[in-house]
């Protein structure tokens, strides 16, 4: 239970001799990292205040610096710049073992030569805790995680899901101030992952501690997090509740990263006419809703070329051609309650999600590859991004 404050945390990996040699030959492989004279910048000015008991999820594509950030909080990586506070105490130079944090690793990192019980008791033994107290805590945690019957097994004899439970158990017996999780579910199969995700939500209600969770899976991020931190190339892209980042993505990256299937993007033109804003894309011109217009006007947005983002489920099928965007169906995927159409509009791929029946149980016309679609979109739920990729409304 603790607050966690990160102030301008930066991680720079200094150039080593080998990297300099590699430069002469082939070009650098990792182009998404910033290479400067100082070194490779993995995390850039990461600032975040985490409240007591909050569940924070760091999410982003691989190599975005999310794991590095977590490892800096854990003390496994040195902090190159900025300050880290746990419970108001600066811990930049405090050793990992004295930070009172626990971590769950992707590879579980269980001690193979110890039984489950010994694994879980290990951190407590190192703290020279009373034997009865150790026993009580280990059994309690085992009870919570439903692994009591495996206590005298060794990790080798356990399945992936069970091992992950043990790893979580080892982390929670200490009742740490902050619980860090580094992609804990990535090594599990899809079914088990869903199950463990639910377990983690349950666990969270049982134990009171601050969580920091790293994942590349947006479903995990959306379902687990109180707030999500979306990262790319070492920079924070957006911090917000799952609903906020879904409804109001700060830039094109966040818009494309959150949401399945991905948001559709169009090259469009934003025009301001007498206090009203219009978006035209292809043969389709839509007047923006009053709220959106107000937001744009407040920021004094001028007429300009923009990237328009519309989520697949917010695309609207028009009965007749007219003020619409025409597209050709290429693939149709039947998902049961809805159909995903992959269509081609002016050479751009567009995904449209259409429910298979309306609320009265009447089947909606289905389309086949080659059919023409007339598309339009709702003016309430479209997103406008300027040339620099930033959302124009916020």
Partner 1 sequence: MKNENKIKSVSYAKWGYIFILPFFLSYAIFSLIPLADTIRNSFYEYYAFGLKTVGPNWTGLSNYTSLLSSDLPKYAWNTFVMWILGFVPQIVISLILASWFTDARLKLRGKQFFKVVIYLPNLIMASAFAMLFFALFSNAGPVNSILLRMGVVGEAIRFMESTLGARTLVGLMNFLMWFGNTTIMLMAAIMGINPSIFEAAELDGCTHTQKFFKITLPQIKPLLTYTLITSLIGGLQMFDVPQILTGGKGAPDRTTMTLIMYLNKHLQAKNYGIAGALSVFLFIISAILCWFVFKMNTDSDPDGSKSAAKRAKKGGKA
Residue of 23, 30, 89, 113 that binds partner 1 (CB under 8 A): 113
Does residue 307 contact residue 252 with C-beta atoms inside 8 Å? yes
Does residue 72 contact residue 81 with C-beta atoms inside 8 Å? no
Provide the residue count of the chain: 394
What sign does the dihedral 131-101-227-200 (CA atoms) show? negative
**Residue 193 binds partner 1, judged by CB under 8 A:** no
- Burial (CB count within 10 angstroms: exposed 0-12, middle 13-18, buried 19+), residue 318: middle
Does residue 179 contact residue 105 with C-beta atoms inside 8 Å? no
What's the min distance (Å) between Cβ of 153 and partner 1? Answer: 4
The residue among 210, 200, 258, 205 whose CA lies nearest residue 391 is 258
**Which residue, 45 or 153, has its beta carbon nearer to partner 1?**
153
What's the min distance (Å) between Cβ of 281 and partner 1? Answer: 48
**Residue 74 binds partner 1, judged by CB under 8 A:** yes
Does residue 177 contact residue 1 with C-beta atoms inside 8 Å? yes
Residue of 31, 32, 107, 241 that binds partner 1 (CB under 8 A): 107
**Which residue, 48 or 74, has its beta carbon nearer to partner 1?**
74
**Which residue, 109 or 353, has its beta carbon nearer to partner 1?**
109
Tokens linked to 353: 């999600």
Residue of 23, 90, 97, 372 that binds partner 1 (CB under 8 A): 97
Which 115-174 residues touch partner 1, going by CB under 8 A?
115-116, 122-123, 126-127, 152-154, 156-157, 170, 174
Pairing outcome for strands 178-182 and 101-104 = parallel
**Which residue, 72 or 286, has its beta carbon nearer to partner 1?**
72
Residue of 13, 85, 105, 278 that binds partner 1 (CB under 8 A): 105
What's the min distance (Å) between Cβ of 243 and partner 1? Answer: 33
Tokens linked to 258: 């959150």
Render 37-70 in DSSP notation, one character per residue.
SSEEEEEEEEEEEE-TT-EEEEE-STTSSHHHHH
Q: What is the distance of C-alpha 226 from the center of its chain?
A: 12
What's the min distance (Å) between Cβ of 318 and partner 1? Answer: 54
The residue among 108, 320, 324 whose CA lies nearest residue 196 is 108
**Residue 21 binds partner 1, judged by CB under 8 A:** no
Residue of 4, 12, 86, 103 that binds partner 1 (CB under 8 A): 103
Which of these ranges, 51-59, 110-118, 303-311, 323-331, lies near partner 1 under the rule CB under 8 A? Answer: 110-118
Contacts of 174 (CB under 8 A, 6+ apart): 100, 102, 123, 124, 127
**Which residue, 80 or 344, has its beta carbon nearer to partner 1?**
80
**Which residue, 42 or 284, has its beta carbon nearer to partner 1?**
42
What's the min distance (Å) between Cβ of 96 and partner 1? Answer: 5
**Residue 111 binds partner 1, judged by CB under 8 A:** yes
What's the min distance (Å) between Cβ of 221 and partner 1? Answer: 22
Tokens linked to 385: 């991004």
What's the min distance (Å) between Cβ of 11 and partner 1? Answer: 16
Pairing outcome for strands 89-90 and 264-273 = unpaired
How many binding residues for partner 1 (CB under 8 A)?
Answer: 29
Which 236-295 residues touch partner 1, going by CB under 8 A?
none
Tokens linked to 357: 């029946």
Residue of 40, 76, 192, 381 that binds partner 1 (CB under 8 A): 76
* Strand partners for 265: 309
The residue among 324, 393, 303, 315 whose CA lies nearest residue 355 is 315
What's the min distance (Å) between Cβ of 34 and partner 1? Answer: 23
CA distance 162 to 339: 37
**Residue 321 binds partner 1, judged by CB under 8 A:** no
Residues forming the site for partner 1 (CB under 8 A): 74-76, 96-97, 101-103, 105-107, 109-113, 115-116, 122-123, 126-127, 152-154, 156-157, 170, 174
């Amino acid at each position: 239970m603790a607050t966690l404050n990160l102030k301008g945390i930066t991680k720079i990996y200094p150039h080593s001799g080998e990297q300099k040699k590699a430069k002469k030959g082939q070009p650098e492989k990792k182009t998404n990292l910033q290479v400067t004279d100082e070194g490779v910048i993995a995390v850039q000015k990461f600032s975040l205040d985490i409240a007591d008991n909050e569940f924070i999820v760091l999410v982003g594509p691989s190599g975005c610096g999310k794991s590095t950030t977590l490892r800096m909080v854990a003390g496994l990586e040195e902090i190159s710049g900025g300050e880290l506070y746990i419970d108001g105490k600066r811990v930049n130079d405090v050793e990992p073992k004295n930070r009172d944090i626990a971590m769950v690793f992707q590879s579980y990192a269980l001690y193979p030569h110890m039984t489950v019980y010994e694994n879980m008791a290990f951190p407590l033994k190192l703290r020279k805790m009373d034997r009865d107290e150790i026993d009580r805590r280990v059994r309690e945690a085992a009870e919570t995680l439903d692994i009591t019957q495996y206590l005298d097994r060794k990790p080798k004899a356990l399945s992936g899901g069970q091992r992950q439970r043990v790893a979580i158990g080892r982390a929670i017996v200490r009742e740490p101030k902050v619980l860090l999780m580094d992609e804990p579910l990535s090594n599990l199969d899809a079914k088990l992952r869903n199950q463990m995700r639910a377990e983690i939500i349950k666990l969270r209600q049982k134990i009171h501690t601050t969580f920091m969770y790293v994942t590349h899976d947006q479903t995990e991020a959306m379902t687990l997090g109180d707030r999500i931190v979306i990262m790319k190339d070492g920079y924070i892209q957006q911090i917000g509740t799952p609903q906020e980042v879904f409804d109001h993505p700060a830039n094109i990256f966040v818009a494309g990263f959150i949401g399945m299937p991905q948001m559709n993007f169009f090259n469009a033109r934003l025009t301001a006419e007498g206090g009203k804003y219009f978006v035209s894309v292809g043969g389709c011109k839509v007047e923006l809703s009053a709220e959106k217009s107000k937001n744009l006007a407040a920021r004094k947005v001028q007429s300009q070329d923009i990237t328009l983002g519309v989520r697949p489920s917010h695309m609207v099928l028009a009965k007749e051609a007219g003020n619409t965007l025409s597209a050709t169906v290429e693939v149709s995927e039947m998902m049961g309650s809805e159909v995903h159409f992959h269509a081609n509009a002016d050479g751009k791929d567009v995904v449209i999600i259409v429910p298979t029946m309306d609320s009265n149980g009447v089947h909606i016309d289905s389309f086949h590859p080659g059919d023409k679609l007339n598309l339009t979109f709702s003016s309430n739920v479209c997103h406008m991004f300027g040339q620099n990729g930033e959302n124009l409304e916020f």
